[in-house]
Structure 1
Amino acid sequence: MASAHDRAVLQAIFNPTTPFGDIPGLNQEEELTDDDSGFDIELLSQVKELEMRGVSAAEAGDLQAALQLFSQAIQILPQRSSAYNNRAQALRLQGDTAGALQDLDRAITLSGTTGRTVCQALVQRGLLRRLICQNDEAREDFEKAAALGSEFARQQAVALNPYAALCNKMLTDVINKLRNPEVSEML
């Protein structure tokens, strides 16, 4: 098995535009899960079933049914964040950005700082904030989600960081000159 240093070197070789030592998933030892231990088991089971049906309805294009199912789940366990996150996705698909942002804010507040739902909600909110040109706030959300292990969020945070983009561009230019010294002499 390769050491962390070996993986960092390989990352730099095969992905020269990422910062050195930035190894996706290195610090994430297990998949994120939500702590549902504080909820009644029967109610939790009922809510999870409603959410699964809501996701299926949304995937089938029936956003109204999905919204109703997610709202039912929220009524049963209003302190559980997952249904807010899922309803936000359906609201976004319906074009209700403000409603989606409200649900994402609620999901993030309820989730705290760890878990799968907060990671997903931060990524979703970051994307919506980019859509409405709130790039600084979007970058903050992506950075938080990246710290939880989201590779996509890490890429978005880097893309929104002008200093990182400039450094990555300069590093890429240097590596390209080292790989092709004849081409750089002609320029």
Structure 2
Amino acid sequence: MATSKDRAVLQAILNPSAPFGDILGFAEEEEAAAVQGEEGAFTSELLEQVKELELQGVLAAESGDVNRALEKFSQAIQLLPERASCYNNRAQAFRLKGDVAGALQDLDTALHLSRGTGHVACQCFVQRGLLSLLQGHKDKARLDFEQAAGLGSAFARHQLVLMNPYSALCNQMLSEVMRKLQNPDIQGSN
């Protein structure tokens, strides 16, 4: 059976442009240690139960059952409210359901719990940046993508490049040159 790290590596290879492909699953132990260090009052069995609920939520969301996903993530939060990834996952489900306010609230909670560091925070900054872009708040999106890029997200770095008008113009010119080099017959057109 593949581990979460194996799945994250495959995700990064098979879908490198995915917003979370470069960071999924790599810091479960890091986050568990951080949560345990803060709380210290839960058992490894409780953590495993919460991780199982999160997995069930992810599978439900992937199958299109967003309500069930929200239910599973909420159950995980009830059991272990200090676990930032539960809020991050539920934020994704809220976003899928079209509840931007709920998603943003959970992302803020996850960022608070993670202290804005680590892989969960990186995912939160990417999600919040994407939501800001969808709402037309480019400055807010840029700030979140900068935070995520600083935490190691290649997707966020790519988004920052795309948001830079000079970079976009250079990319457009380079694409045109490459197109003409690959198809010399169309050089005369335009």
TM-score above 0.5, yes or no: yes
Identical positions, percent: 59
Aligned partner of 1:62 among 48, 60, 65:
65
Question: In the superposition, relative to structure 1, how do residues 168 and 63 fare at CA in structure 2: closer, same or farther (>3 Å)?
Answer: closer
Query: What is the CA distance between 1:159 and its match in structure 2?
Result: 1.3
Worse-superposed segment, 145-154 or 161-170: 161-170
Task: Please list every run of 5 or more consecutive structure 2 residues that lacks an aligned counterpart in the other structure.
Answer: 1-21, 37-41, 180-190
Query: What is the CA distance between 1:114 and its match in structure 2?
Result: 2.2
Match of 1:155 in 2: 158
Q: Distance in 1 between matches of 2:164 and 2:45?
A: 45
Aligned partner of 2:32 among 25, 29, 36:
36
Query: What is the CA distance between 1:170 and its match in structure 2?
Result: 7.5
Cα deviation 1:93-137 (Å, max 9, x = unaligned): 111111111111111111123222111111111100000001011
Match of 1:108 in 2: 111
Secondary structure, in 3 states, of the residue corresponding to 1:35?
A: helix
Query: What is the CA distance between 1:56 and its match in structure 2?
Result: 0.9
Secondary structure, in 3 states, of the residue corresponding to 2:32?
A: coil
Q: Which amino acid aligns with 1:147?
A: G
Cα deviation 1:1-34 (Å, max 9, x = unaligned): xxxxxxxxxxxxxxxxxxxxxxxx9xx9xx5454
The answer to whether 1:72 aligns with 2:75 is yes
Query: What is the CA distance between 1:162 and its match in structure 2?
Result: 3.0
Contact 1:139-1:161 within 8 A present in 2 as well: no
The answer to whether 1:82 aligns with 2:85 is yes
Structure with greater helix share of residues: 2
Q: Distance in 1 between matches of 2:81 and 2:119?
A: 18
Match of 1:51 in 2: 54
Query: What is the CA distance between 1:155 and its match in structure 2?
Result: 0.5
Match of 1:146 in 2: 149
Pairs within 5 Å for 1:2-41:
31-33=26-28, 34-37=30-33, 38-39=35-36, 40=42, 41=44
Aligned length: 157
Aligned partner of 1:137 among 140, 153, 167:
140
Structure number with larger C-alpha Rg: 1
Q: Which amino acid aligns with 2:73?
A: F
Question: In the superposition, relative to structure 1, how do residues 170 and 63 fare at CA in structure 2: closer, same or farther (>3 Å)?
Answer: closer
Q: Distance in 2 between matches of 1:77 and 1:66?
A: 17
Match of 1:97 in 2: 100
Secondary structure, in 3 states, of the residue corresponding to 2:64?
A: coil
Contact 1:70-1:87 within 8 A present in 2 as well: yes
